[in-house]
Amino acid sequence: MDNNKNALPKRSDISPEFKWKLEDIYPSNDLWEQDFKKVKELAVKLSDFKGHLGDSPEKLVECLELHNLLISINDKVFVYARMRKDEDNTEPVYQAMTDRAMALSTEAYAAISFITPEIISIPEDTLKKFMDQNGSLKTYRFFIDEIIRQKSHILSEREEEILALSAEVAHAPHDIFSAFNNADIKFPFIKDETGEEVEVTKGRYVKFLESHDRRVRQDAFQALYSSYGAQHNTLASMLNNNVKKNRFYASVRKYDSALQSSLDDDNIPVNVYDNLIDTINKNLNLLHRYLKLRKKALKLDELHMYDLYVPIIEMPKKEIPYKEALETVEKGLMPMGDEYIGYLKNAFNSGWLDVYETVGKTSGAYSWGTFKTHPYVLLNYQGTINDVFTIAHEMGHALHSFYTNKTQPFIYSEYKIFVAEVASTVNESLLMRYMLEKTKDKKEKAYLLNHYLEEFRGTVFRQTMFAEFEKIIHANVEQGYALTAQSLSDIYKGLNEKYYGCETVIDDHIKLEWSRIPHFYTSFYVYKYATGFSAATALSQQILKEGKPAVDRYINFLKGGGSDYPLELLKKAGVDLSDPKPVQDGLNVFEETLAELEELV
């Protein structure tokens, strides 16, 4: 089968213009080794400050600046190794470098673990005096205030060191799943629309589900889930242990639940999470109405789970060339202004993006990078309209990082995930508006409206279902129940019946979907897609209606990084997510779009 022309290409077969330039981080592995050693040296040097942070404001500043240097170089070492591994997960050199980088990170974070408990031990009045006496400390005011806010959940110096040392072991469920999901799992070949044998991959799976040949959709669906199903007990053990890890850390840090622990890092009240689930559950009738329209448009007696992604309006079969996709994204984001577009164009031409799917390459898409270098974007471009929106999405992340790193000191360069999905989705919303306005063709307009509704279904309804699943399985473990392959599948199937069952046949294979979702190993992450989409809907409408004033507010939000709490940064940009209203407003936009499509279909 390896000689099949539809098998994945190797990385060496891809032109350099379609690969990211990781040499911008390290021109050689030897330079990486030098920084690897430097991290170890700085970790030793940092230990000299133990017990002395309360001596003087100068000592405290010196320690925090050394902390920044240590962690920024450590991040650079880790990101480079991991991104090299992501190019080809079967490459042993970068497997080894990633393992070493992870071990080094454990050492680095163990080395800094004394800082927070020691700052806590300094009386608050003394800290205030320190900040008044030393101008350099004013930079760290929010950082220090945040430590004081979380004081009741921070442990002793020795306990913090033990927790830092446990990080590598605690990461095992994620690492094992990643190795399985990106390197080991193989899917069978199926016949495509022309009857030709084509290997199913995670990248091609999405394309197969968009096929107008229902047999191809069903075959791909069964091929994928039968492969995961064959390993369902092992995969259940991985997820179960990840949930137990979360329970452990929440418990030792004196939180009531893993959910509360996770949200507290962003200073997000639990009711924001609960409000999202409640608001979506109250509006499931809109999802059911959309599914009813989908069934009607596809002329199906029954709508199955593998029928959910095919565009309900058949467009001329065409693959969108990558260069055309870049031009479309650029035009769609013009309302963001000349400066933003200038940075975008530079990114497209300067080795920020890794474009095509190759053997062993990590699936999906992401934006990543380091404080000391420009951001990077991993793609698995297949030429679909979804891929065009993925470029806009990931460039939202990348330019958020770019603006933050350009404006903030290292200590505030890592913005919270809660706000990250806003930046990506604003770009998608602007691109959608541009494409809808550009088209004069009713059929194309209907296609795009369907695409927007699908984005909404996938980002708001689907991710909220994921969030509800995470809440249930963590609550079960916290109440002493075991998570088995059977119980996970039962919970997951029940949620699908609630969200989709009114208008959809819940195929038995869908109960296994939990076993292939990487985000379940970064727990309580996915709800941020739904809240982010809601905020982005509001912000993009402000940008289009108000122009420059809204753009300026938004760019300042991008520059904010981690210098304030996520809810506060968004309030300054023009959206208050502490209230259910933005989510409901977003659902109202969904209903308006649905009504528009109902008129055309």
pLDDT surpassing 80 at residue 314: no
Across 458-463, average pLDDT: 95
Query: Per-residue pLDDT for 5 more than 90?
Result: no
**Contact by Cβ (8 Å): 393, 424:** yes
Average pLDDT over residues 539-545: 92
The catalytic position among 118, 157, 394, 478 is: 394
Q: Render pLDDT for 287-301 as a digit per residue (tens, 0 to 9).
A: 999 999 999 999 999
pLDDT at residue 49, rounded to an integer: 97
Q: Indicate if the pLDDT at residue 444 is higher than 90.
A: no
Rounded average pLDDT over 264-284 = 95
pLDDT of 7 strictly over 90: no
Average pLDDT over residues 356-381: 95
Of 34, 39, 44, nearest to 70 by C-alpha is 39
Query: Is 3's pLDDT higher than 80?
Result: no
Q: Is the confidence at residue 516, as pLDDT, over 80?
A: yes
Where in the sequence of the chain do the CATH 1.20.140.70 domains occur?
A: 11-170
Instruction: Tally Cβ neighbours within 10 Å of residue 152.
Output: 9
Q: Are strands 376-378 and 353-354 parallel, antiparallel or unpaired?
A: parallel
Q: Residue 312 has what pLDDT?
A: 87
Counting residues of the chain whose pLDDT is more than 70, the rounded percentage is 99
When pLDDT is cut at 50, 70 and 90, the band that residue 63 belongs to is very high
Compare 206 and 235 and report the one with higher pLDDT: 235
Asked if residues 50 and 118 have their Cβ atoms less than 8 Å apart, the reply is yes
Residue 531 in this model has a pLDDT that exceeds 60: yes
User: Which residues fall within 8 angstroms of residue 143, CB to CB, at 6 or more apart?
Assistant: 64, 411, 412
Q: What is the pLDDT of residue 316?
A: 59
> How many Cβ atoms sit within 10 Å of the Cβ of residue 491?
18
Q: What's the token pair of residue 455?
A: 């984005």
Q: What is the mean pLDDT of residues 45-60?
A: 96
251-263: average pLDDT:
96
Per-residue pLDDT at 348 exceeds 90: yes
Determine whether domain 251-315+417-601 maps to CATH 3.30.70.270.
Answer: no
Range 11-170 classified under CATH 1.20.140.70: yes
Express each pLDDT in 553-600 by its tens digit: 999 999 999 999 999 999 999 999 989 998 998 899 899 999 999 999
Q: What is the mean pLDDT of residues 368-374?
A: 94
The Cα–Cα gap between 330 and 340 comes to 10
With b for 16 or more beta-carbon neighbours within 10 A and e for fewer, the 63-93 pattern comes to: bbbbbbbbbbbbbbbbbbbbbbbbbbbebee
pLDDT value, residue 502: 84
**Per-residue model confidence (pLDDT) at position 133:** 92
Q: Is 60 exceeded by the pLDDT of residue 383?
A: yes
Q: Evaluate if residue 1 carries a pLDDT over 50.
A: no
Report field, pTM of the whole predicted structure over 0.85: no
CA gap 428, 306 in Å, rounded: 25
Q: Is 394 a catalytic residue?
A: yes
User: Quick one: which of 60, 164, 155, 151 has its CA closest to 103?
Assistant: 164
Confidence of residue 435 (pLDDT cuts 50, 70, 90): very high
Range(s) of the chain covered by CATH 1.10.1370.20: 251-315+417-601
Q: Average of pLDDT values for 212-225?
A: 96
